[in-house]
């Protein structure tokens, strides 16, 4: 029998409460499983033993067999260091400790053979080894012999408290001794044979104690594949559950709004990419499942027209649509853009933001509730409780990464209510009363009998359910329609029944099956257990109930309202590896083609000492009638400094471009919305030639006449931000330019970012470089990166393994969607043990 890997780490021999506490705090190791998943950072060849006279002055890791012949304490500027003379048959060297000296003197033996391992230094004509790993030769020979010495992650606190790498290795060895290597296989035989993977047992043994390089490599591949496979399985299953459990409105027709716009008022020919994406969206909207799609498109690729045409499909089917944007500037731009597109279609569109006046708000709320208002654009203001739609069918979220999951979930609840379950129940019951009258009559008689015959197994289960021990509220003997259910959870619409064993005749079993059928059709899921299952293994029954409930969306949302279809858009291209990992549960559409006639923006890097030439270039462009953006960095930690940068810059620009010949706008985050809008409008109307701004203009400014973007202190920006800012120009027919201004002091990463910007305009290529530079955690932010808290795989370096894992996860679920076949038993058990989804938020893009 295999060891229970959920056992607290305190119980492992050689750990104890003090070490366990340190391991928990420093490395997050709580259980045997956590320890097993603490994979080495690197490995050192421990097959060779050096003699002291063979040592070289190269600061390499070496191991030497010898004896400590004496200790001495040597005074130094701060405190003392402990020095031991270490001797073998070819010479002597010194072992040195700067801390922990008392413990070392008390525990190390004189004139006893040790194996010393560590880096050597040459100092005062002699080799020394600071803070060596020391092991008695007798113990060294008894332990698991490995050629490749694992080096585990550690912290300064662990080292100071005597938990060295050798101690970690010994603790790991103890885990393998206690478990006897009996680890449960987590992948199917099919996967193991098709991919020629070694077993879980072999992989774990060779990741911690590799016999040779080839087995280490195979162990690493197997464990990386497994980790990425289960992430993909989770994401793909989530998508499948979403489609099967969360219903959407079927938009069955494409009618006059869409067709009239497409045939008569479409201002330009759609690109092939836009046509492909619209086709994907139409297919989603026409199904019975809720659309949950991510639309990626580079700056200027034409996402807005796709969004608008998707809204027209909603309108054609009698539904309302909304578009939520992260800033007021962007909301206003969308509003103006959609007004222009819809001017001949007789559509009512309004905008709702934080600065909308109260009198206007009331009118919008009223028109929204009675259905007169068809499209609403806005900021977070759309999420307010007062904002109630008559029948919201499509919600579009722009720059979706700027909204939290909780905020996005509020849009779900703004869909129209479903028709009552109880209305459905009447018609369903009538159908069965007519079609199967005798069975239905018996069903009613058994109801009464059920209530009388409360069993021991029901009492046992109720004791576990009634105190919310599983985290879910249950009701006992609860009436649903005209049936009495043993146990009901109304949040998830789940009924738990215990088969008491007294319905034995064919007629009685038919009546039970009919009851289950009616409850299913009303919208409840029924789980059945036998008396023997509950009495014999209540823990397993409870585990099954918990996993089942956690895999379902909440009835509160899925039952009470049909959520609107959701389209989330981003102009920040997501690298393919991240799209497969973080957004792997979403359907993804990509507009990977720019509209014809768009000229590529020319990007150059200039140092501060080239500023006079840059100013001359600005004057030349203004003389041609063009407009200029000059952007200063905004770094949250020091907004005061940023404001100063901006004002200093503004004053400097004002001196070089004096009034009345030149007019300058200024926009920053500290301004009131009305003042910001006034300055933006001056620039949009061409009343000012230069706009000095912070990154408040990163998204949402569309001025076709602006042809130059100058980014000051460009080294202080991330790649995706630089790319977004550059996208503010290049919107007209004229050649546009982006000038990256920096000082000469640049880090290696800054140079890479600037070189990438100068070399390419391809947002997806830029996103891949950004991912390599920053890593997935930084790009996604803390909340979203939880899914990639990887133990051994690296989604950047292991991209090929990731693609393979996704392919096999899809294939496995295609062949066995519920993972209930005998072949996939190991996969299902592992998947359940990894824990399933906790709440409805997992279903929200």
* CATH number reported for the structural domain that contains residue 707 in this entry: 3.40.50.300
Q: Say whether pLDDT at 664 is over 70.
A: yes
Confirm whether 88 is domain-assigned: yes
Confirm whether 7 is domain-assigned: no
Q: What confidence score (pLDDT) does residue 511 get? A: 64
Q: What confidence score (pLDDT) does residue 474 get? A: 86
Lowest mean pLDDT, pick from 107-121, 611-625, 661-675 = 661-675
Tens-place pLDDT, residues 756-798: 999 998 887 888 888 778 765 544 443 344 445 678 888 777 8
Q: Identify whether residues 377 and 429 lie together within a single domain.
A: no
Confirm whether 844 is domain-assigned: no
Residue 167 pairs with which residues in a beta bridge? none
Q: Which residue has the tokens 């010393």?
A: 116
Domain count, the chain: 4
Cβ atoms within 10 Å, residue 65: 15
C-alpha span between 296 and 570 (Å, rounded) = 5
Domain holding 71, by residue range, is 16-179
Q: Say whether pLDDT at 166 is over 90.
A: no
- Do residues 119 and 63 make contact, with C-beta atoms less than 8 angstroms apart? no
Q: Identify whether residues 376 and 457 lie together within a single domain.
A: no
Cβ atoms within 10 Å, residue 798: 21
Residue 117 pairs with which residues in a beta bridge? 63, 133
Tens-place pLDDT, residues 521-531: 667 788 888 77
Nearest to 286 by CA among 649, 511, 565: 565
C-alpha span between 234 and 253 (Å, rounded) = 34
Q: Identify whether residues 527 and 625 lie together within a single domain.
A: no
Confirm whether 123 is domain-assigned: yes
What average pLDDT is seen over the chain?
82
Four-point Cα dihedral 419, 424, 426, 428, nearest 10 = 170
Q: Identify whether residues 358 and 434 lie together within a single domain.
A: no
Q: Identify whether residues 485 and 541 lie together within a single domain.
A: yes
Helix H or strand E encompassing 636: none
Q: Say whether pLDDT at 651 is over 50.
A: yes
Q: Identify whether residues 712 and 647 lie together within a single domain.
A: yes
Binned at pLDDT 50, 70 and 90, residue 517 comes out as confident
Q: How many residues does the chain have?
A: 845
Coil vs helix vs strand at 745: coil
- Do residues 634 and 667 make contact, with C-beta atoms less than 8 angstroms apart? no
Q: Identify whether residues 308 and 334 lie together within a single domain.
A: yes
Q: Identify whether residues 630 and 725 lie together within a single domain.
A: yes
Q: Identify whether residues 26 and 129 lie together within a single domain.
A: yes
Q: State what percent of residues in the chain have pLDDT above 90.
A: 33
Q: Identify whether residues 410 and 505 lie together within a single domain.
A: no
Q: What confidence score (pLDDT) does residue 51 get? A: 92
Confirm whether 715 is domain-assigned: yes
Q: Identify whether residues 430 and 405 lie together within a single domain.
A: no
Q: Which residue has the tokens 């101690």?
A: 167
Tens-place pLDDT, residues 629-647: 999 886 444 455 555 577 8
Q: What confidence score (pLDDT) does residue 688 get? A: 94
* CATH number reported for the structural domain that contains residue 22 in this entry: 2.40.50.140
Cβ atoms within 10 Å, residue 569: 22
Pairing of strands 91-97, 80-88: antiparallel
C-alpha span between 590 and 293 (Å, rounded) = 10
Q: What confidence score (pLDDT) does residue 839 get? A: 37
The residue from 715, 736, 760 where one domain ends is 760
Confirm whether 609 is domain-assigned: yes
C-alpha span between 212 and 226 (Å, rounded) = 21
The residue from 179, 200, 234 where one domain ends is 179
C-alpha span between 323 and 335 (Å, rounded) = 9
Q: Identify whether residues 609 and 657 lie together within a single domain.
A: yes
Binned at pLDDT 50, 70 and 90, residue 283 comes out as very high
In order, the DSSP letters of 464-513 are HHTTTTTSS--EEEEEETTEEEEEEETTTTEEEEEE-S---SHHHHHHHH
Binned at pLDDT 50, 70 and 90, residue 650 comes out as confident
510 is written with which tokens?
A: 């038919």
Whether a cis peptide bond, with omega within 30° of 0, leads into 660 is yes
Q: Say whether pLDDT at 616 is over 90.
A: yes
Distances (CA, A) of 674 to 361, 580, 678, 712: 17, 42, 6, 26
The residues, any chain, with a CB within 8 Å of residue 794's CB and separated by 6 or more, are: none
The residue from 488, 523, 553 where one domain ends is 553
Helix H or strand E encompassing 139: helix 137-142
Confirm whether 778 is domain-assigned: no
């Amino acid at each position: 029998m295999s060891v229970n890997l959920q056992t607290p780490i305190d119980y492992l021999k050689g750990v104890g409460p003090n070490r366990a506490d340190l391991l928990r705090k420093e490395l997050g190791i709580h259980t045997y499983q956590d320890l097993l998943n603490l994979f080495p950072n690197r490995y050192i060849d421990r097959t060779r033993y050096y003699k002291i006279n063979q040592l070289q002055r190269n600061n390499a890791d070496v191991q030497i067999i010898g004896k400590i012949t004496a200790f001495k304490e040597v005074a130094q500027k701060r405190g003392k260091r402990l020095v031991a003379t270490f001797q073998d048959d070819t010479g002597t060297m010194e072992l040195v400790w700067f801390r922990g000296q008392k413990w070392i003197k008390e525990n190390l033996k004189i004139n006893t053979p040790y194996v010393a391992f560590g880096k050597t230094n040459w100092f005062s004509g002699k080799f020394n080894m600071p803070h060596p790993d020391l092991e008695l030769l007798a113990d060294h020979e008894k332990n698991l012999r490995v050629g490749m010495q694992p080096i585990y992650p550690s912290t300064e606190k662990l080292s100071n408290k005597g938990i060295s790498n050798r101690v970690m290795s010994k603790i790991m060895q103890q885990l393998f001794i206690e478990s006897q290597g009996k680890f449960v296989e987590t992948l199917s035989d099919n996967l193991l044979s098709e991919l020629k993977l070694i077993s879980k047992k072999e992989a774990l043994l060779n990741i911690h104690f590799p016999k040779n390089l080839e087995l280490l490599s195979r162990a690493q591949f197997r464990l990386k594949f497994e980790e990425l496979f289960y992430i993909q399985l989770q994401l793909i299953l989530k998508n499948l559950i979403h489609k099967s459990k969360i219903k959407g409105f079927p938009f069955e027709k494409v009618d006059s709004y869409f067709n009239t716009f497409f045939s008569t008022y479409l201002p330009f020919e759609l690109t092939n990419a836009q046509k492909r994406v619209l086709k994907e969206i139409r297919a989603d909207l026409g199904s019975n499942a809720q659309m949950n799609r991510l639309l990626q498109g580079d700056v200027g690729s034409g996402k807005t027209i796709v969004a608008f045409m998707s809204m027209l499909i909603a309108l054609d089917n009698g539904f309302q649509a909304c578009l939520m944007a992260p800033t007021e500037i962007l909301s206003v731009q969308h509003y103006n853009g959609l007004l222009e597109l819809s001017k001949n279609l007789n559509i009512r569109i309004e905008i709702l933001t934080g600065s909308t006046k109260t009198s206007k708000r009331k009118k919008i709320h009223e028109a929204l509730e009675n259905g007169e208002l068809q499209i609403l654009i806005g900021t977070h203001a759309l999420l307010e409780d007062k904002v109630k739609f008559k029948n919201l069918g499509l919600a579009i979220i722009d720059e979706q990464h700027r909204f939290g999951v909780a905020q996005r979930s509020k849009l779900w609840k703004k869909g129209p209510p479903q028709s009552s379950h109880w209305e459905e129940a009447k018609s369903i019951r009538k159908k069965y009363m007519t079609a199967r009258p005798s069975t239905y009559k018996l069903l009613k008689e058994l109801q009464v009998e059920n209530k009388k015959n409360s069993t021991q197994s029901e009492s046992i289960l109720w004791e576990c359910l009634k105190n919310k021990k599983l985290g879910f509220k249950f009701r006992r003997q609860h009436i649903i329609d005209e049936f009495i259910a043993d146990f009901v959870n109304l949040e998830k619409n789940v009924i738990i029944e215990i088969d008491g064993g007294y319905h034995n005749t064919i007629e009685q079993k038919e009546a039970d099956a009919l009851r289950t059928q009616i409850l299913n059709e009303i919208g409840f899921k029924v789980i059945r257990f036998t008396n023997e299952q509950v009495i014999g293994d209540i823990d397993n029954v409870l585990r099954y109930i918990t996993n089942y409930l956690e895999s379902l969306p909440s009835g509160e949302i899925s039952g009470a309202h049909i959520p609107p279809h959701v389209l989330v858009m981003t102009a920040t291209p997501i690298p393919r590896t991240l799209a497969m990992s973080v957004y792997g549960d979403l359907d993804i559409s990509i507009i990977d083609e720019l509209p014809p006639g768009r000229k590529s923006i020319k990007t150059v890097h200039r140092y501060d000492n080239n500023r006079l030439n840059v100013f001359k270039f600005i004057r030349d462009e203004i003389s041609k009638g063009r407009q200029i953006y000059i952007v200063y960095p905004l770094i949250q930690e020091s907004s005061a400094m940023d404001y100063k940068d901006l004002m200093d810059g503004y004053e400097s620009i004002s001196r070089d471009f004096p009034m009345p010949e030149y007019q300058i706008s200024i926009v920053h985050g500290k301004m009131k919305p009305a003042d910001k809008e006034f300055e933006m409008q001056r620039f949009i109307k061409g009343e000012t030639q230069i706009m000095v701004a912070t990154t408040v203009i990163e998204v949402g400014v569309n001025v076709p006449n602006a042809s130059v973007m100058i980014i000051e202190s460009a080294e202080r920006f991330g790649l995706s931000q630089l790319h977004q800012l550059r996208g503010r120009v290049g919107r007209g027919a004229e050649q546009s330019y982006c000038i990256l201004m920096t000082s000469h002091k640049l880090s290696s990463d800054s140079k890479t970012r600037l070189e990438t910007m100068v070399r390419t305009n391809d947002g997806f290529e830029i996103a891949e470089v950004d991912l390599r530079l920053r890593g997935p955690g930084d790009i996604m932010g803390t909340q979203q990166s939880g899914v990639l808290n990887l133990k051994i795989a690296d989604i950047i370096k292991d991209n090929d393994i990731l693609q393979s894992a996704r392919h096999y996860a899809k294939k496995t679920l295609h062949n066995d969607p519920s993972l209930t076949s005998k072949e996939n038993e190991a996969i299902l058990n592992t998947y359940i043990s990894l824990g399933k989804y906790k709440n409805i938020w997992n279903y929200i893009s």
